[in-house]
Amino acid sequence: MKKWTAILFLSSLVTMTCFAKDLSGRFPPISREVLANMGPGCHIRLKMPEGARFPISYSEHSGKGGGSIILRALPTPYSQDFFLGFICYAADDGIVTDGWTSYDESSQQWRIKLTPHDAEMFANAHKTYQLKAVNAQGWAITINDVTGDEEGRQRHLHYCLIKPPKALCGNDDMGYLNAGKKGDLTPYALQILRSIEFIDDMPPAHPSDDSDDIE
């Protein structure tokens, strides 16, 4: 048993290392550290790709904010744009705790929630990730299109990172399915999500279209 465990671990390590090298060779490195203030409790530090922008918005009236990392024309088979958006929610909001997923106390993991009909339809078209960031935890799921023209079917990512009393959630398209691994931006997005660190509040930044304004 120990032998097979060691083999599986080494195999997984090699796979992750190869994938990291593949990302660094094809996409801009995720090495630019920025600060983003999306409202009380949602002031974060994270790493994002070189060349990306991170415009944010904040409403003093509602006390809520959000933003989106934007990177144009990544070198995928479809030269697609990359978006990773965030909205600041209360940690006990239903979208966070009981939307796409629910927390299983027995396994201490997040599990996708699907109706019996959807569970059958998406049986081989979804995946759940347990997210662990710097000082927050949460979930991410991918859902693949299973209907419509095959050339237009995409993979969609939904996610929430939670650090009570707040959470950051969002959803975005991760690429066309017929482009294969070279067109799947999911690992790229997960790498960014796992770099997030919630930090002490500061006065919210003014809405901006230039990411340099929020560093």
* pLDDT, tens digit (0-9, with 9 covering 90-100), for 143-197: 999 998 988 999 999 999 999 999 999 999 999 999 999 999 999 999 999 999 9
3-state SS class at 96: helix
Query: 188: burial class by Cβ within 10 Å (0-12, 13-18, 19+)?
Result: buried
Max distance between CA atoms of the chain, in angstroms, equals: 60
Digitized pLDDT (tens) for each residue of the chain, 215 residues in all: 444 434 333 443 444 444 444 454 679 999 999 999 999 999 999 999 999 999 999 887 777 799 999 999 898 888 889 999 999 999 999 888 888 888 888 898 999 888 888 888 888 899 999 999 999 999 999 999 999 898 899 999 999 999 999 999 999 999 999 999 999 999 999 999 999 999 987 655 554 444 443 33
Q: What is the pTM of this model?
A: 0.80
Could you tell me the residue ranges of all domains in the chain? 30-214
3-state SS class at 67: strand
